[in-house]
Amino acid sequence: MRNVSCSYPASLSAVVCACSGLCVSFCLWPYRTGFLAFFVLIPFIIFSGLRDGRGRFLLNSFVFGMGYFMGSLYWIALLEREQITVPWLRLPAAIVLCLYLSLFMLITGFMTRRLIRLRIPYEVAFAVSWWAIEYLRSLGPLGFPWVSIGYSQTPYIPVIQQASVIGLYGVSAWLVLVNGLLSRFIASRRVASLGVAIVVFAVPVIWGLTTLSQTEPEDTARLSLIQPNISGTVKWDQAFAESTMYMLWEMSADARSSDMIVWPETAVPFHLTHSPGSLDDVITLAEDLEMSLLLGFPDYEELDGQFRFFNSALFVTPAGGRIAEYRKIHLVPFGEMIPFEDRIEILRRIDLGEGDFSPGDEYTVFELDTLKFAVAICFESIYPDLVRGFVRRGAGFIVNITNDEWFGPSLGPYQHAQMAVMRAVEFRVGLARCANTGISMFVDPYGRITSQTELFKRRILTGDVVVGSGETLYLKAGKYLETGVLIIVLALALVSYVLPGVGAREVPGPTPG
């Protein structure tokens, strides 16, 4: 029996694997071709050498990752110079980031081969390894679960309902499993293999359709999202601070008949709580409009002569007064801080133009009348574990405030918005996303986008955000599930070195080529 990975030159296999990875990027927003995610991994599986260990499967896994992440994140290298503190770092940063993320694909390939040596079917080994390593990619200060393949399914509402049970990383593993089963059918030409693939695909979809048919009316809060579309060159120029605030005032005055007005991340371009006159003006605005106000702003505190700066959100009610403040917990590495600089002295001397922020340490939950909600600032919306912390503390909906203006007219704003949708499904809570330049939107607890704005338009988006129950299996057990999968995969990989007699190659039948 011949194997494709050995029938062609190694260079050709690498090219096929890179193209397979590149195709993953076309499954995400704004392309709206998420259905391709059920097929794009098949060339990689067949040509990489993962199935039988022949060929350069580790190199091919890495090359696949480079195609995947360069295709998804190339736009970082093309950002406008005005938006980057150190413009020459754009290209090196994009390359280093993609190299780093591709290492996780190499590890996935390695783990897959170790599990196959234990006679685990390759499609199962690949799926659970992907699940474990994609979750691993999200952990720690360098965690970056951007453009996970599971996000490709957000346009297909019945499909993503399974996220309330297995989460984003489980959805990714399911897609990988379907790809693996289809590749087995192509390799073996056995109808039974195709039948298994159809069943594995159909069961979650049928369950999702059943779930959607049983939805019940829930409480709502009416929000007005202010999308001011302010350029960063204007926002952070103190000469324009007054005109910026005036614009926000005017837009808020036009957003009547809401329970709360929301301004985006760092909408107020100065330390509001340390400017008593400006803070009083904000309180007066809430009183005059008779609506609560949620806004993003930079804050700081001084302790023993040391200053700590925060990316914060402030909630003010029409009754007047400062109710509560949330300080961003998960900061952007190399954008808002240097990872591990608090532990390694030499890192404190590095200056890449990043903001010198400190992380918050409290999962703040606000109350809008009797309804509870929480705020996720910027890319905090891509971390299921963080949102889980808010929902566990009673948040019935999430407000995501962000400033994606520095992304420019790239894939970035679309990808960022798409990822927020999955949080609503995982925890059955409503989501309101307020972005400076877009995309602002309302998402119900089942992942349906009820309204949204275009990019780089000044808009007021008013709508109802649903207060969800938060009662999902993923909320209760998702952390244990993901940690368990990771531990099991690592344990099985170790066992594959210990048990004697393992290591026979799996050859899944005749392979074309």
Residue numbers annotated as active site: 265, 328, 378
Neighbours of 321 (CB within 10 A): 9
Angstrom distance (rounded) from CA 53 to CA 38: 23
Range 383-388, long-range pairs (CB < 8 A, 24+ positions): 383/138, 383/143, 383/145, 383/330, 384/138, 384/167, 384/168, 384/422, 384/423, 384/426, 384/474, 384/478, 385/138, 385/479, 386/329, 386/330, 387/423, 387/426, 387/427, 388/426, 388/427, 388/475, 388/478, 388/479
**Structure tokens given for 183:** 């590749």
Neighbours of 280 (CB within 10 A): 11
Angstrom distance (rounded) from CA 145 to CA 488: 21
Angstrom distance (rounded) from CA 237 to CA 379: 24
Helix (H, G, I), strand (E, B) or coil at 225: strand
Angstrom distance (rounded) from CA 252 to CA 273: 20
Cα torsion at 331, 337, 342, 345 (round to 10°)? 160
Angstrom distance (rounded) from CA 131 to CA 326: 32
Helix (H, G, I), strand (E, B) or coil at 328: coil
Neighbours of 30 (CB within 10 A): 13
**Sheet hosting strand 449-452, strand order edge to edge:** 366-368, 371-377, 397-402, 430-435, 441-443, 449-452
**Structure tokens given for 461:** 């988006």
Angstrom distance (rounded) from CA 342 to CA 465: 39
Strands (E), 357-426: 366-368, 371-377, 397-402
Q: DSSP labels for 439-502? A: --EEE-TTS-EEEE--TT--EEEEEEEE------HHHHHHHHHHHHHHHHHHHHHHHHHHSTT-
